[in-house]
Amino acid sequence: MKDGRDCWWEDEIKKVETQGNPLCPAEEMDAEDVLFILYTSGSTGKPKGVVHTTAGYMVWTNYTFVNVFQYQPGQVHFCTADIGWITGHSYIMYGPLSAGATSLMFEGVPTWPDAGRFWDIIEKHKVDILYTAPTAIRSLMGFGLDPIKGKDLSSLKVLGSVGEPINEEAWHWYHEHIGNKNCPVVDTWWQTETSGILISNLADVTPHKPSFATLPLPGVQPCLVDEQGKVIEGNNVSGNLCIKFPWPGIIRTTYNDHERCKQTYFSTYQNMYFTGDGCLRDEEGNYRITGRVDDVLNVSGHRIGTAEVENAINEHPQVIESAIVGYPHDIKGQGIYAYVICEGEITDEAKMKQEIMQVVSKIIGPIAKPDKIQIVPGLPKTRSGKIMRRILRKIAEGETGNLGDTSTLLDPSLVDIIKNGKL
Ligand code: 7RM
């Protein structure tokens, strides 16, 4: 509490009430007035303050909310995101509220008091739209079907996914066991810097496709670019995902450092916004985000996407989740280090690891087999469910001391457990 700067809510609210006018008059803003600054952790270096402005941000969150989820007046929207994540800003607050929707806010974790928490909330409040992250889906999958049994989820019309690529197994579980195969799954790709969704199917308007964000929203012009900055035309191709033309919600600047904004997003490729994500476009023109491009490994000259290996490992029925990082390897240049969370008790670790190798070998090929597999009880994640690869990379590289800033971790104690189990 600093005198002259801070004041108590309970004192201030009394003043409003004694004036007999509980309404706060709206303040008129300029379209380009700063609306908020949200810091992105950034995998390296110091966090950037992403600046969004009033009109563009609100237009984009409203437009995407109404169209992607096909929101109908009267529906209850339940976005499970943390309010401090851009997803909470855009799809708990601004998008739904600007559309007059009922936005259900939840404080807590999906597994307390038990793993049926989401399903109880949906039943109790007759939720129409559920918007959550693959990390939550996978963690709830790990509890089996018991927590869902007897829960009435029939109010659900649309399911959404956000934050990371959703693997096929999680997609099907979500579609079948939560949506009763009746609800479209919108896989929404976007970033803090974009304000709202840029690539997604539209519920019941355009088809969904497991693990594909599918098509750009009207007005969005994605393109794939190769290492040399050449635009890759045609289908059945992959490259770095860029956006050719601005949209209302595009990042305006990084707070107090406009140069950094230009440098990070607008200089890698000329006249384009660079997302930092790798992406493939299939034969029908659907987009599939494969993960951050700085998450690509070079193993004996082969480019291997960490997401690809993770997807393969996750196909093992006893695997809940995994994270792949590279580490310096004398012969291969980079070796593959896998952190794996398994379901239930693992009695024979060696056998489990052997099976994981076989799965990867079968799905991708022997080149992608992890050199080291460490079974872990959990992965270091931010509150928004993003794996902090920077930490895992440092551990895999043998760093025992400074792991950098770990203050945004959901469970910092995990780091020591993982460090102690290093191979
Ligand atoms: C909304 C949000 C952005 C990064 C982004 C991607 C990844 C987000 C998806 C996804 C695959 C998706 N903002 N990402 N959504 N990857 N499919 N549907 O997460 O600024 O916190 O993160 O998240 O790598 O660049 S964020």
CB 86 near ligand 1, within 6 Å: yes
CA dist 143 → 23, 55, 110, 136 (Å): 46, 43, 11, 11
Cβ-proximal residues to 89 (8 Å cutoff; 6+ apart), any chain: 36, 38, 83
The confidence score (pLDDT) of residue 404 equals 77
CA-CA-CA-CA torsion sign (411, 416, 420, 423): positive
H or E element at residue 238: strand 237-243
Name the percent of the chain lying above pLDDT 90: 76
48-53, strands of its sheet edge to edge? 34-40, 48-53, 253-254
Distance 191 CA to ligand 1 centre (A): 5
3-state SS assignment for residue 243: strand
Instruction: Give me ligand 1 centre to Cα 306, in Å.
Output: 15
Residues of the chain with pLDDT > 70: what percent? 97
pLDDT of residue 45: 62
Of the candidates 84, 39, 40, 87, the residue with the CA atom closest to the CA atom of residue 65: 87
Mutual orientation of helices 349-363 and 306-314 as an angle, nearest 10°?
120
Where residue 21 falls among pLDDT bands split at 50, 70, 90? low
Distance CA 293, CA 278 (A): 5
DSSP state letters, 53-76:
EHHHHHHHHHHHHHHHTT--TT-E
CA Rg value for the chain = 22
Mean pLDDT computed over 283-291: 94
CA distances from 177 to 104, 132, 182, 315 (A): 22, 15, 10, 18
Tell me the two tokens of residue 55: 């009109």
Q: What pLDDT was estimated at residue 142?
A: 86
| Helix (H) or strand (E) run with residue 322 in it | strand 319-329
Q: Using pLDDT thresholds of 50, 70 and 90, give the confidence band for residue 20.
A: low
The average pLDDT across 355-375 equals: 95
pLDDT, average across residues 24-36: 92
Q: Give tens-digit pLDDT for 90-113.
A: 999 999 999 999 999 999 889 999
> Mean pLDDT across the stretch 286-293?
90
pLDDT top residue among 24 and 240:
240
How far apart, in whole angstroms, are the C-alpha atoms of residue 209 and residue 172?
Answer: 10
pLDDT score of 13 more than 60: yes
Average the pLDDT over 194-203 and give the result.
98
Strand partners, 376: none
Distance CA 337, CA 316 (A): 17
pLDDT of residue 68: 98
Q: How confident is the model at residue 406 (pLDDT cuts 50, 70, 90)?
A: confident
The verdict on whether omega for the bond into residue 366 sits within 30 degrees of 0, i.e. cis, is no
**Rounded-to-integer distance, Cα 385 and Cα 115, Å:** 17
Distance 4 CA to ligand 1 centre (A): 40
- pLDDT tier, 296 (very low <50, low <70, confident <90, very high otherwise): confident
Give the distance (Å) from ligand 1 centre to CA of residue 189: 6
Confidence of residue 17 (pLDDT cuts 50, 70, 90): low
- Rounded Cα distance between 183 and 204, Å, is 8
Degrees to nearest 5, angle at CA 33 with 29 and 38: 125
Query: Relative to the CA of 199, which ligand 1 atom is closest?
Result: 18
Higher-confidence position of 335 and 294: 335
Q: Where residue 18 falls among pLDDT bands split at 50, 70, 90? A: low
240 lines ligand 1 (CB under 6 A): no
Would you call 308 helix, strand, or coil by DSSP? helix
Asked if residue 19 has pLDDT above 70, the reply is no
Q: Is the CB of residue 272 below 6 angstroms from any atom belonging to ligand 1? A: no
Task: Say whether pLDDT at 43 is over 60.
Answer: no
pLDDT attached to residue 317: 92
Query: Which run of H or of E encompasses 338?
Result: strand 333-342
Q: What is the mean pLDDT of residues 29-37?
A: 98
Instruction: Give the pLDDT score at 22.
Output: 62
200 lines ligand 1 (CB under 6 A): no
β-strands 222-225, 231-232 pairing: antiparallel
Confidence (pLDDT) at 95: 98
Is the pTM higher than 0.75? The answer reads yes
**DSSP letter for each residue of 262-291:** HHHHHSSSTTSEEEEEEEEE-TTS-EEEEE
Tens-place pLDDT, residues 200-255: 999 999 999 999 999 999 999 999 999 899 999 999 999 999 999 999 999 999 99
410: confidence class by pLDDT, cuts 50, 70, 90: confident
**Mean local confidence (pLDDT), 353-357:** 96
DSSP 165: P
pLDDT at residue 357 tops 80: yes
Q: Beta strand pairing status for 372-375 and 333-342? A: parallel
346 CA from centroid of ligand 1 (Å): 32
Q: What is the mean pLDDT of residues 48-64?
A: 97
Q: What is the DSSP string of 167-204?
A: PHHHHHHIIIIITTTTS-EEEEB--GGGSS--B---TT
Map tokens 């659900």 to a residue.
156
Please give the structure tokens belonging to residue 357.
């190798």
- Which tokens in the block code for residue 209? 């496709």
- Per-residue pLDDT band for 399 (boundaries 50, 70, 90) equals confident
Half-sphere exposure (CA, 13 Å, Cβ side) for 409? 20
pLDDT at 313 over 60: yes
For the segment 127-153, the average pLDDT, to the nearest whole number, is 94
Q: What amino acid occupies position 292?
A: R
Q: What is the total residue count of the chain?
A: 423
d(CA 223, CA 244): 7
Distance CA 240, CA 277 (A): 6
Which mutation among 37, 185, 277 tests ligand 1's pocket best, with the greatest number of atoms within 8 A of CB? 277
Average pLDDT of every residue of the chain: 93
